């Protein structure tokens, strides 16, 4: 993780956790194409690094990200965005196999809210504000918000956010089930959670992520079958033998991710 970036910061709070911080403070971390190219590279590197078990994505105190960069978008024409498939590579996050935890403080608006929704777990600080204000710009969400919000908070609430552009507080997002929880030390808690996840067998963690995400795509019967087959498959791993033996022998499991 030694690559130098202009729009993000990368670090390792500990050897098993990658921390990526969006870093365009003057623009409230507005998401631009150059920022996404860097973010995609940092995410792919962390995903490929065998020592890393989980990734934390955060912004600043004031903004996780205040949306796609409106100044970059404002003069684009249909022919540009269609021909160049604008935003198509902004969703790389959802192809990662390792879990990503969003630690959200301040504004998570438009593409910022959608980026948080692409993560596997969202932790929010009490200052977090979520919203899809694209309607005020004459457009609609373009990074998955209209779809992922329906799954996360239901149609009526998703429709309200998309059609009014209203911002909701961390507390409301919590009540609506959009975030895992609200916590004062959001980054610290996210790193702690990522460290905890990294201490599990990574094959089981990746399988857990895969089966939960399958619920978005499959019918209940297909999802249950996929979960059971994946569960069966884990009996081929050393981590299953170690985890269950350790329980029986009343000791802590030493997973080898194999
Ligand atoms: N794009 C570009 N610049 C921005 C953005 C943005 N989204 N948000 C803030 N900035 C800039 C401001 O222009 C300002 O720059 P400058 O100092 O040069 O004038 C600086 O950040 C600080 O912003 P403000 O002065 O406005 O700060 P305030 O504290 O007064 O207000 C707000 C904060 C309420 C967050 C306000 O900045 C705001 O409303 N921002 C725009 C929010 C928005 O509409 N977001 C949706 C954008 S459209 C979108 O996201 C489409 C999604 C596409 C898919 C993405 C896939 C992941």
Name the region of 257 (left: φ>0; alpha: ψ -120 to 50; beta: rest).
left
CA–centroid distance for 198 within its chain: 16
In degrees to the nearest 10, what's the CA dihedral of 89, 90, 95, 100? 150
Query: Which amino acid residue places its CA nearest to atom 14 of ligand 1?
Result: 27
N- to C-terminal Cα distance for the chain?
24
- Asked whether residue 1 carries a pLDDT value surpassing 80, the answer given is no
- The pLDDT of residue 131: 98
Concerning whether 38 is annotated as a catalytic residue, the answer is: no
2 band by pLDDT with thresholds 50, 70 and 90: low
Is residue 189 within 8 A of residue 183, CB to CB? The reply is yes
| Residue among 70, 75, 108 whose CB has most ligand 1 atoms within 8 A, to mutate | 70
* Catalytically annotated residue among 18, 27, 46, 114: 114
Q: Is the CB of 194 under 6 A from ligand 1?
A: no
Query: Residue 54's pLDDT is what?
Result: 98
Distances (CA, A) of 246 to 198, 200, 239, 253: 18, 13, 10, 5
pLDDT tens figures, 71-119: 999 999 999 999 999 998 888 999 999 999 999 999 999 999 999 999 9
Separation of CA 60 and ligand 1 centre (Å): 14
Does 69 contact ligand 1 (Cβ within 6 A)? yes
Distance, CA of 55 to CA of 28 (rounded, Å) = 22
**Mean pLDDT value across residues 147-173:** 98
User: Got the DSSP string for 11-34?
Assistant: EEEETTEEEEEE--GGGTT-B-HH
Q: Which atom of ligand 1 is nearest to the CA of 118?
A: 57
Tell me the CA–centroid distance for residue 195 and ligand 1, in Å.
Answer: 32
pLDDT at 211: 98
For residues 170-178, average pLDDT: 98
CA angle 95, 45, 35 (to 5 degrees): 75
pLDDT tens, residue by residue, 51-78:
999 999 999 999 999 999 999 999 999 9
Respond yes or no: is residue 61 known to be catalytic: no
The helix or strand, by DSSP H or E, that contains position 239, with its residue range, turns out to be helix 238-248
Facing residues of 17 across strands? Answer: 14, 54
Q: What pTM does this model have? A: 0.96
Nearest protein CA to atom 56 of ligand 1, as residue: 143
Tokens representing residue 135 in the block? 């309607």
CA of 229 to the centre of ligand 1 (A): 45
Confidence of residue 209 (pLDDT cuts 50, 70, 90): very high
Known active-site residue 108: no
36 close to ligand 1 (CB < 6 Angstrom):
no
Give the ligand 1 atom nearest the CA of 36. 57
Q: How confident is the model at residue 208 (pLDDT cuts 50, 70, 90)?
A: very high
Q: Could you tell me the distance, in angstroms and rounded to a whole number, from the CA of residue 200 to the centre of ligand 1? A: 39
Told to judge if 92 belongs to the known catalytic residues of this protein, a careful annotator would answer no
> What's the pLDDT score for residue 91?
87
Of all protein residues, whose CA lies closest to atom 22 belonging to ligand 1?
A: 27
What is the pLDDT of the chain when averaged over all its residues?
Answer: 96
Query: Which pLDDT does position 117 carry in this prediction?
Result: 98
Is residue 218 within 6 Å of ligand 1 at its C-beta? no
């Amino acid at each position: 993780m030694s690559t130098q970036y202009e729009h993000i910061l990368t670090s390792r709070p500990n050897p098993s956790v990658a921390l990526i911080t969006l870093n365009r403070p003057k623009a409230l971390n507005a998401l631009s194409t150059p920022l996404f190219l860097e973010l995609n590279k940092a995410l792919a590197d962390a995903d490929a690094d065998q020592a890393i078990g989980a990734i934390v994505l955060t912004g600043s105190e004031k903004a996780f990200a205040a949306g796609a960069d409106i100044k970059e978008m404002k003069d684009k024409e249909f022919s540009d965005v269609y021909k160049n498939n604008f935003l198509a590579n902004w969703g790389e996050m959802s192809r990662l196999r390792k879990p990503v935890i969003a630690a959200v403080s301040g504004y998570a608006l438009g593409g910022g809210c959608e980026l948080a929704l692409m993560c596997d777990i969202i932790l929010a600080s009490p200052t977090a504000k979520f919203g899809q204000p694209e309607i005020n710009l004459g457009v609609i969400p373009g990074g998955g918000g209209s779809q992922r919000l329906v799954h996360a908070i239901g149609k009526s609430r998703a429709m309200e956010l998309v059609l009014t552009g209203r911002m909701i507080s961390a507390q409301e997002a919590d009540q609506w089930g959009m975030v895992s929880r609200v916590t004062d030390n959001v980054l610290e808690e996210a790193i702690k959670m990522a460290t905890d996840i990294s201490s599990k067998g990574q094959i089981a963690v990746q399988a857990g992520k895969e089966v939960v995400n399958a619920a978005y795509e499959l019918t209940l019967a297909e999802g249950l079958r996929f979960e059971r087959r994946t569960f069966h498959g884990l009996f081929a791993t050393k981590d299953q033998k170690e985890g269950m033996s350790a329980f029986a022998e009343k000791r802590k499991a030493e997973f080898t991710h194999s």
